[in-house]
A = this chain, B = another copy of it.
Amino acid sequence: MKYCSQCAAPLRLGIPAGDDRPRHICDACGTIHYRNPKVIAGCIPVWNGQVLLCRRAIEPRHGFWTLPAGFMELGETLEQAAERESYEEATARVRIDSLYTLFSLPHLSQVYAFFRAELLSPDVAAGLESLETRLFEETEIPWDELAFETVHRSLALFFEDRRNGAFGLHVETLGPDDRLIRD
Contact = CB atoms under 8 A, between A and B. Distances in A.
Interface of A: 1-8, 10-11, 18, 20-21, 33-39, 71-80, 88, 98-99, 102, 104, 106-107, 109, 111, 113, 128-129, 169, 171, 173, 183
Contact of A99 (B3, B34, B79, B171): B171
A113 B74 CA distance: 17
A36 B33 contact: no
Copies in the complex: 2
A74 B6 contact: no
7 contacts: A5-B11, A20-B88, A36-B71, A36-B72, A37-B72, A78-B102, A80-B104
Interface centre among A10, A11, A36, A76 (most CB of B within 10 A): A36
A74 B5 contact: no
B73 A21 contact: yes
Contact of A75 (B18, B99, B106): B106
B6 A3 contact: yes
Given A77-B173, A104-B77, A111 B183 contact: no
Contacts of A38: 36
Given A78-B102, A111-B39, A8 B3 contact: yes
A72 B21 contact: no
A36 B74 contact: yes
B4 A3 contact: yes
B3 A37 contact: no
Nearest to A78: B104
A154 to B, nearest CB: 16
Given A128-B18, A169-B169, A171-B99, A109 B74 contact: yes
Contacts of A99: 102, 169, 171
B2 A107 contact: no
